Structure 1
Amino acid sequence: MRSVVFFLAVATLWATAHAGGSIMPSDISSLWQPQKFTAARVSSTDPTGGNRDAISIRPWDRAVLADIAGPGMIHHIWFTIAHPDPMHLRQLVLRIYWDGETAPSVEAPVGDFFGLGHGMVYDINSVPIQIGSHKGLNCFWPMPFKQRATITVENQSATACRSFYYYIDYRKDVKIPRDARYFHAWYNQKFPADPVADYVLMEAEGEGHYVGCNMSIHLNSEGWWGEGDDHIYVDGVEKPNLTGTGSEDYFCGAWCYAKPFSNLYFGCPLMQSPDPQRDVRVRRPGSYWNVYRYHILDPIPFTKSNKVHIETGRAPGTNARRPFTNHHSSVGYWYQREPHQPFPPLPRAAERVSTMLE
């Protein structure tokens, strides 16, 4: 049953990005039908036929993983990495460019793009993002392009990345509609988050639809972080079109999340104390959290602009703000027509490492 649900969900993902007819089977029972595309791949395979199937990336160098002529649709990206720096998932930066654009449509630390906050590794079992054992990073977001897709990774570390393995699976000989929306992903952080102003999960101008986010929280303040309401502003309104009842509710859990969970469209895969061997309390300073919510079955369309914000400092059971000093970081995902507004500058590598406040 879970396999059928998974295939249905992936088909819905593609339909979200593709306004015309689908080229992806709607469920497992249709796999016998003709598949009208050519399967293709770019990978780090050893060109000599040997077993050195990875590239190395020198400090502060950028590697071009793929430069693919269109039309096509990327449907799977897999990475695994051997890097001596314990924070390499925050220091390696993924960028994706569509159709020759100079400003990337995807820009995020590799770990955060794959839902792994804080430079940490943990299990995720969602439709668009799955983490296999021993840091197998998988992305299934469908990414159509008309002319060209360019994927790069930059090593913003003083240490060389010894081995970077990758698959980029895509479909060519496909028809991409004129009105197809392009995939976008943007990393943001606030160390610490403002206890009064909302935290920004996503902001875009143009025509498209928001499809979700993941958010990481590093606690600097004692207590429950999850009471802040979500606010979504569609097409330039002053007051949010959609307002929620709390962060824990927006991410589809309840009652302060008694344990980690990872579901197809929402989850809290990480809740960890700073010293889990001695103290399992996860609301104390130093604790690490990650949550995600993917609007695959319920995308939020916009024609002019969209803003997805969330409160960070509301106290449980009251309307008062607490002066939380928690560190928030996130990746927002959406599809939109190009061109898009260039993203703000990515924080420097050293600034992306969250540390406790004095």
Structure 2
Amino acid sequence: MAEKILMKGNEAIGEAAIVAGCRHYFGYPITPQTELTEYMSKRMPQVNGVFLQAESEVAAINMVYGAAGAGARVMTSSSSPGISLKMEGISYIAGAELPSVIVNIMRGGPGLGGIQPAQSDYFQATKGGGHGDYHCIVLAPNSVQEMVDTTILAFDLADMYRNPVMLLGDGALGQMMEPVEFNPSETKPIAKPWAATGLKGRAEPNIVNSLHLQPEKLELHNIHLQQKYAGIIANEVRYEELYTADAELILVAYGITSRIARSSVEKARREGMKVGMLRPITLWPFPEKPLAALAGKASAFLTLELSAGQMIEDVRLAVNGAKPVYFYGRSGGMIPSPKAVYEQIANIFKGKEAVKHG
């Protein structure tokens, strides 16, 4: 077993990327993820890698496009408004099928908002965010150790599916310190015969492109992408269940909120309330089928988010009207206490309409 060391979440992501074989990082500082950019500026030269602080987030994401097109394992990171600036480039990357890892350490919004943690970028991450029919694979860790593990996984999934992967954290996870260990990726970097690396014995050079002027060809490309996404949905859904076997109420939460939810669920169980929890680890693909299965057993659902309510839409779609879906959320960087969540659970069992109902 590897030795555990105490690390801040942002820095742990950087080291995990290096363990995964990332040697190219392009970014621009913005709180609350600036420590990640700072860490990569120190570590990349030590591993013969490339670090570049771009002149803007727009420039950074296009540098990612270039490095990924040449076959490199490459990463960028930012926080909410910075990710918005990257969205055109992310759509280009998805259209050109370039493996890359994009980290979003979410802050409150809209606009400049504040640097405190939030989960109000869920729609942006899971519904595309940029133009066109495309998807990023979206991973949502809930601890510093999971930030390490999902970062390594992100590079493997990106290469496997030739697709951008987004790691969705928040200001709390990025700033907190916890003990972590680093285990190298079990998946070796795969060959990339499609990469733009010159002729290298080929009669014609590879061309990396997302432009298809003929509508017939563009439709075929879109059909190909949708078939790839169907394969991701079939094989890459990740989630955690807790106390769901006999649960009458299922809490659904991800990221930092799931840690609060777990404390509340365990307190409610001690008080005799049959409560369980489902934590999505992949926000896209979303664990729709597991939630639909639970809708056949449980009486109700409670979705917890640091937003005005975004993931709740996917929960409602999964439940499909079979059972009521309640919502409790805080926004603007406010984080609910386990006591506040427990009170919502207790009120539902008492039949009180203390939370919004879907």
TM range (shorter): 0.3 to 0.5
Which protein, 1 or 2, shows the higher relative CO under an 8 Å CA cutoff with sep ≥ 6?
1
With structure 2 as the length reference, what TM-score do the two structures score? 0.33
Structure with the bigger percentage of strand: 1
With structure 1 as the length reference, what TM-score do the two structures score? 0.33
